[in-house]
Amino acid sequence: MAVTLDQPLASSALPRLLTLRTDRRRTLLDRFMRGLTVAAMVVCIIPLVAVIAYVTINGLAAINLDLLTKPPKALGVGGGAAAAILGSLQMVSLATVMAVPAGILSSVYVSEFAGTRKAAGIRFAADVLAGVPSILVGIFTFTILVLPFQQYNAFAGSVALAIIMWPIVLRTTEEILALVPGTLREASLALGVQRWRTVLSIVVRTGFTGILTGVMLAVARAAGETAPLLFTALGSRLINVGDWQRPMDALPLFIYQNARQPYPVLNAQAWGAAFLLMLFVLVVNIAVRGRSMGRRTY
């Protein structure tokens, strides 16, 4: 009789034991995968922190009033990066004016008006252009805007930067517009609002925060480009404000030129300019985050 009673107990304990083993294995696997993801995050963060810390330590030591307010000396060692700072602000600003409206309007057409085949073709073209090495963009712009006029000029540099920015703005904006709920479009159209007004007032306005983030990414990318400017703006030791037909200096060009020199003073100026460039990107990020705070991003 005792054997008969033990059999049900054994049969009920076995599934419970298997369940405990399965739960333990799942728990261990879950902890392992969590630890693996944390380790991957640390591996990704370490280079970023190292670059920021190294540039900050070396760059802060080189920051002074002369670096911010004086142009490089025509001959010899000394001066500052005022020409490069003003040149970067001008060329990136003009490139933004050219690339951002074109990129946003292109993304609106792809997202709202183009057919499936046309949209796929434009996306493919934008992806290919985004993957083209920036030096090829510089050579192309050099061929059409520098060689015919026999003159390196700042306008060609801005066009090269705009070509680099355009696909970034287009693809990021299109992705944001695709996330805007279709019910918002349908509600606006049901009220009799014209389609163009619906796109402008509802779709674009709803995704404005995400669009601004994409623009910020494009501006940060353009601000750090060197190769296209070597073929177009070339660089200059003279401060150039508003003369787009002449060469113009920029922070990436200033860093490139001074980092190659055998003079410690010029090497230190390159670190200072690198810190200013990194600080510019950081300020743009903070400004965008502050603008988007409290608003929903689709």
pLDDT of residue 24: 84
Strand blocks (E) in the chain: none
Report the predicted TM-score, pTM, of the whole model to 2 decimal places: 0.86
Q: Three-state DSSP class for 79?
A: strand
User: Which residue shows structure tokens 């930067």?
Assistant: 161
Q: Three-state DSSP class for 192?
A: coil
What does DSSP assign to residue 202? I
One-letter amino acid for residue 18 of the chain: L
Sorting pLDDT into bands at 50, 70 and 90, what band is 213?
A: confident
pLDDT in tens, 87-122: 999 999 999 999 999 999 999 999 999 888 999 999
Tell me the average pLDDT across 129-141. Answer: 95
Q: Hey, what domains does the chain have and what are their CATH numbers?
A: 65-292 (1.10.3720.10)
Alpha-carbon gap, residue 248 to 88, rounded angstroms: 9
Q: Where are the alpha helices (DSSP H) in 132-243?
A: 134-141, 154-179, 182-190, 195-198, 204-206, 208-223, 227-231
Q: Residue 172: phi, psi to the nearest 5?
A: -70, -40
Question: Residue 110's beta-bridge partner residues?
Answer: none
Question: Residue 44's beta-bridge partner residues?
Answer: none
pLDDT of residue 13: 67
Whether the CB-CB separation of 81 and 235 falls below 8 Å is answered with no
Alpha-carbon gap, residue 43 to 203, rounded angstroms: 38
**Residue 293 clears pLDDT 80, i.e. is over it:** no
Tokens describing residue 187 = 């509600």
Alpha-carbon gap, residue 197 to 11, rounded angstroms: 70
What does DSSP assign to residue 147? G
Sorting pLDDT into bands at 50, 70 and 90, what band is 73?
A: confident
One-letter amino acid for residue 200 of the chain: L
pLDDT in tens, 245-288: 999 999 999 999 999 998 899 999 999 999 999 998 888 878 77
Tokens describing residue 214 = 């994409």
